Amino acid sequence: MSNQASAATETIDLLLEHYLALLDEYTTLRGTLNTVQADIFHSLARANFSAERGIRYYGQDYYDERMQAIRRIQIGPKDGKAEAEAEGKGDTDPGANRPVFTVRTYPPSASGSEPDTVSRTSDGSGSGTESKEAEKSVPDADAKSGGVNPSATDDSSGSVDEKQKKEQGQEKGEEPGPTSEEEQKPRPKDKPTDPLRWFGILTPLALRQAQGHAIKAVEEIIPRLATLNVEMAAIEVEVRRARKRRAKAEKAEEKRVAELADQMGHVDVSA
Amino acid sequence: MASQADFRDRQFLAVIGDEDSVTGLLLAGIGHVTPPPDNQKNFLVVDAKTDNATIEATFERFTTERKDIGIVLINQHIADRIRHRIDTYTQAFPSILEIPSKDHPYDPEKDSVLRRVRRLFGE
């Protein structure tokens, strides 16, 4: 066998070794997905069995027609760094260019601090600090802000006071303080609702368990299976190419041997 | 190899399946309806009355027309009904995954990935 053919065989062996490892992972994950899917169906069946009166079947009749995905795919290079992908700084390893599927919750930032800050501005202490700032900035406001107790229960006077403070801030062209900025911010958009809420407020435990199993399938198993699928398909292409190269090298080798034999025959005749 | 531009905007999972399979997966929060006037769903509930043409058209829409779908999940018994389309599908994106359903357990013999494996090893 020629050097080229043996090198191609070696490459094929390496690729097949990797391919079989991926196949093993694929079949294992398939088994896990089957178990998780069975758990989902079991939980759904239990939920339907224990459904409250009025609920016929936990199914498409209750789907929200304006649903928004709260779990979305992110497809990136193998190392999973979106920045590197954007700048085209891939690894030198050819396998690094193969896409990897990951499932992320959407919207990406939970922004748990936002509601806190909003609530902080609406409480008494927040308006107290604002009134102090207003005192410093505009003397006219002294009487009003000084007169109004931060802990006053009169809502209307408080709101008028806040409006005036905003106007004062705008007139002065000062950079608004963190609290006023938060006030000016539009209210956070309505987050996509939890699909469990489509089926009512008090959903049975079994339905929540079904959701838990489904999240496991969607977040852990399905993206990995999709990644393996793409990776295996890429290796299949590489193996076929390597086999073609090997066949070509073998053909060339056979041709060369035949030519040599021909030449040797001529030598015999002339001798 | 698909370029990165091919998959950058692909962010949704799509499902073609029976009611329980779709409900289960939608509970995980993958369901999405595009804003009006399109109102395109990323799922199809297949029942006894759904014909093959509808399934095929939906599969076509998810795989060819829509550029925002990264993975298409399809029940294996439904994939059997459009097997010719599944087996001739060669695009890298979206990725197709066959999943079991309540009444039809997963059969490795029919799995398109394992069929590809057999083809590679010359069987």
Question: Picking from A23-37, A46-60, A220-234, which range would have the lowest pLDDT averaged per residue?
Answer: A46-60
Q: Where is pLDDT greater, at A109 or B94?
A: B94
* Longest pairwise C-alpha distance within chain A: 127
Q: What is the pLDDT of residue B4?
A: 63
Rounded to an integer, what distance in angstroms lies between the CA atom of residue A164 and that of residue A147?
14
Q: What is the pLDDT of residue B97?
A: 94
Which residues 221-250 on chain A approach chain B with CB closer than 8 angstroms?
A: 222-223, 225-226, 229-230, 232-234, 236, 239-240
**C-alpha A74 chain-centroid distance:** 5
Q: Where is pLDDT greater, at A133 or A239?
A: A239
- Cβ partners under 8 Å of residue A39, min gap 6: A209, A210, A213
Q: Please give the ipTM for the structure prediction.
A: 0.92
**C-alpha A180 chain-centroid distance:** 33
Q: Distance from A114 to chain B by nearest Cα, in Å?
A: 23
Residue B13: pLDDT band by 50, 70, 90 thresholds?
Answer: very high
Query: pLDDT exceeding 90 applies to what percent of chain B?
Result: 71
Nearest CA in chain B to A193: B29
Note the pTM of the prediction, 2 decimals.
0.72
**Angle A140-147/A155-172 helices, nearest 10 degrees?**
150
Ranges A159-168, B56-65, B89-98, most confident: B56-65
Q: Where is pLDDT greater, at B62 or A199?
A: B62
Which residues 75-94 on chain A approach chain B with CB closer than 8 angstroms?
A: 75, 77, 85
pLDDT tens string A77-130? 865 444 444 444 444 455 666 788 999 888 865 444 333 333 333 343 444 334
**A70 — contact with chain B (CB < 8 Å)?**
yes
Cβ-based contacts of B22 with chain A (< 8 Å): 60
Question: Picking from A19-23, A28-32, A201-205, which range would have the lowest pLDDT averaged per residue?
Answer: A201-205
- Dihedral angle of Cα B108, B41, A211, B113, to the nearest 10 degrees: 20
Surface-to-core class of residue A131, CB atoms within 10 Å of its CB (0-12 exposed, 13-18 middle, 19+ buried): buried
